[in-house]
Amino acid sequence: MGIIEINNFSQNYGDKALFEDTSFVLNPNEKIGLTGVNGAGKSTLLKIIMGQVLLDKGTFYKNPRYRVEYLDQHAEVRGESTVKEYLSGAYKHLFDAEAKLNKINEQLAVETNDEKLERLLNQSGDLFEYLTTNNFYAIDSEIEKVAAGLGVNAFGMDTLVKTLSGGQRAKVMLAKLLLESPDVMVLDEPTNFLDVNHIEWLTKFINSSERAFIIVSHDTHFLNNVVTHICDVDNNKINKYVGNYEKCMATKEAKRIQHEKNYEQQQREIKKMEDYIARNKARAATAGMAHSREKMLNRMEIITPPSEQVKPTFSFKYKDFAGNLVLKVENLCVGYKGKPLLKPISFEVENGDRVAITGFNGIGKSTLLKTIIGQLEKISGTSVLSKNIVVGYYEQENDFHYYEGTPLNFVSAMFPKLNEKDVRTTLSKCGLNSVLCRKQIKQLSGGEQSKIKICTLVLKPCNLLILDEPTNHLDVFAIDRLQEAISEFEGTVIFVSHSKEFVRDVATKVINLENLS
C-alpha cells in the first residue's frame, strides 16, 4: 500500500463541490506537485491529508509507520525563543535523549551495585549509539547549513522569532521542517518568500532527498525541477501524471484535446440518432429501428462536456500624467529604527518604465518600496514622487488571518461610493464568483485572497503601480493575465518578484540591490 491513500472520495466546501468520486495516492520516494487553479481544492486536499478536515465521502488511509509534517505558513509562533532556539527544536527528541544520557552518566559515577552498573552501562551505550547514528554531535553545523541555504541567517540567529515578518517567519518554519526530516514533507508554496539562490538550494535539497514530498506551488520552473509526478486538480477530479511539470502538462493538454474530439464526435452521433428517431418513430415500417436506436441512445455512456476554465480579466485604470520623470531617488538610505538595510541608492524612474527591483531575500526590497510610498520613514537622502503621481500599491503579505468579513465587505469598505452590483462585477472579473464573494476572506485560498487585493487596485485609477511579489499564490492563468494587464497599463510600474520568468517578460529596467557599491 501507499503512504497515503484517499479512495473514491467526494468533498464539498460549503455549497461548492471540490472533489467528486476521485482518488489520491502517495507512494514512497514520490515527489508530487499538486496543481490546479486557485480555489480548485488544493488547500482542502492538504488539510484532508493532515487530518484537519474529515472526508464527506470515501476512505482515507495513512501508513502509521510514516511521519507526515506540513509547512503551515500561517501558524503562530509563541514564546521568547530565538531563531537558533526555534530551529534547534527540530531535534527535541535528540536533546531529550542527551539529557537522559547525562542523567545516566551521573548515576554511573556513584553506583556501586554491579548488576545496576551493567544495566546503566547498556542504557548509556544504547543512547550514545542513538545520538551518534542520528548525527547529534553535528547539529549546529546542520542548522547552519540549512539556515544559510534558505537565507535565514541573513536576519540573525539571535533574533526573536515573534519579531519576524511574515516572510521571514515562513522561511524559518521551512528551515525547521527540513531539519526535522519527516518521512513525508507537505510544502504549501515554499518558494513564495525565497529569492533565486535560495530556490536553487531548496531544489538541490529536494532532489537529493529520499523522502516523499507533496508540493503546492505556482512556480512552474521550480516544480519542473523537483517533481517526479503531478497530481492535477481539474473539474473535481485528481489526475495523476508521471514526469516533470512540462511533461505532465503536455500529457494533460493532449488528453484535453482528445477529450474534446471524443465529445464532439459523440455529440454528432447523438444528434444523428435523435434526428433518425424523430423522423422514423411514428412510421410503422421504421418504428422498430427507431426504438432500437432509442435503446442504444439510452444505454450510451455520455462523455462529459469539456470544462470551461474561468480566467480573470485584470485591467488597471490609468490616471493621466503629462510629465516624464515619475520618481527621483538620491542617496536614499532605508531601514528600520535608524538601522540601514542598504547602502545609499540613487536612481530615476521615467513615465512608462517597468522597473524590477531584485536582490536576495531580506536585502531590503520591500523596505525600499514602503519607503518610496511613505509607509516607512527614510533614514537619509531623498525620494521624490513627481506631482500628480497617484500610486496603486500591492503589499506582499495577505493579512486577512483575523479579518471576519467577506470580499464584498472588504472592497465595499474601501470604495464606499460603489454600489454592490459594481463591486460584485469587479470581483467576478478578478476571478471571484458570487459564492466566493460572500464567504469569509480568511476561509479563502491564498490565490483567492490575492485576487481581492488586485481587485482593489483595478478599481483605483492610478499612474504608478508598485507591486511587491504580486505573483505569490496566483495560478498560471492569473499570472498570465496579470502580465497582460501590466503590459496594457499606460502608466509606470515598479515591482518586486522572485520569478525570473516574470521579471524577464515584464521588466524594461532592472535595479539589482546586490550591485550597490
Are the beta carbons of 476 and 220 closer than 8 angstroms?
yes
Q: Residue 144 has what pLDDT?
A: 95
Q: Residue 321 has what pLDDT?
A: 93
First-residue to last-residue Cα distance in the chain: 58
C-alpha to C-alpha distances, 393 to 157, 366, 469, nearest whole angstrom: 32, 11, 11
Q: Residue 314 has what pLDDT?
A: 93
Q: Residue 200 has what pLDDT?
A: 93
Q: Residue 310 has what pLDDT?
A: 64
Three-state helix/strand/coil letters over 287-331:
HHHHHHHHHHHHHCCCCCCCCCCCCCCCCCCECCCCCCEEEEEEE
Strand order, beta sheet including 212-216:
68-71, 184-188, 212-216, 31-35, 229-234, 237-242
- Taking CA 175 as the corner, what is the angle to CA 170 and CA 181, rounded to the nearest 5 degrees? 130
Residues of the chain with pLDDT under 50: 517
Q: Residue 439 has what pLDDT?
A: 87
C-alpha to C-alpha distances, 242 to 42, 223, 417, nearest whole angstrom: 19, 13, 51
CA distance 112 to 123: 16
CA distance 13 to 236: 12
* DSSP structure class, residue 82: B
Q: Residue 336 has what pLDDT?
A: 82
Q: Residue 309 has what pLDDT?
A: 63
- One DSSP character per residue, 240-257 reads EEES-HHHHHHHHHHHHH
Are the beta carbons of 62 and 7 closer than 8 angstroms?
no
Burial-class residue 381 by CB neighbours within 10 Å (0-12, 13-18, 19+): middle
Q: Please list, in sequence order, all residues whose beta carbon lies within 8 angstroms of the beta carbon of residue 23, skipping any fewer than 6 positions away.
A: 5, 6, 7, 8, 9, 58, 238
Per-residue b or e along 471-510, where b marks 16 or more CB atoms closer than 10 Å to that residue's CB: bbbbbeebbebbbebbeebebbbbbbbbbeebbeebbeee
CA distance 254 to 245: 14
Of 97, 98, 120, 100, the closest CA to residue 108 belongs to 120
CA distance 90 to 185: 14
Q: State the CB neighbour count (10 A cutoff) for residue 357.
A: 26
Q: Please list, in sequence order, all residues whose beta carbon lies within 8 angstroms of the beta carbon of residue 40, skipping any fewer than 6 positions away.
A: 18, 233, 234
Residue 116 cell numbers, joined: 545496576
Q: Residue 73 has what pLDDT?
A: 64
Give kind and range of the element (H or E) at residue 448.
Answer: helix 446-458
Are the beta carbons of 71 and 192 closer than 8 angstroms?
no
- Taking CA 243 as the corner, what is the angle to CA 19 and CA 21, rounded to the nearest 5 degrees? 15
Q: Please list, in sequence order, all residues whose beta carbon lies within 8 angstroms of the beta carbon of residue 41, skipping any fewer than 6 positions away.
A: 11, 13, 18, 19, 233, 236
Q: Residue 396 has what pLDDT?
A: 85
Of 179, 126, 130, the closest CA to residue 150 belongs to 179
The domains found in the chain, sorted by start residue, are: 325-515 (3.40.50.300)
Q: Residue 131 has what pLDDT?
A: 92
59: left (phi over 0), alpha (psi -120 to 50) or beta: beta
Q: Residue 308 has what pLDDT?
A: 64
Give kind and range of the element (H or E) at residue 187.
Answer: strand 184-188
Q: Residue 315 has what pLDDT?
A: 94
| 420-429 vs 446-458: helix crossing angle, rounded to 10 | 120
- In percent, how much of the chain has pLDDT > 70? 98
Give kind and range of the element (H or E) at residue 73.
Answer: none
Three-state helix/strand/coil letters over 125-153:
HHHHHHHHHCCHHHHHHHHHHHHHHHCHH
Are the beta carbons of 250 and 241 closer than 8 angstroms?
no
Q: Residue 164 has what pLDDT?
A: 84
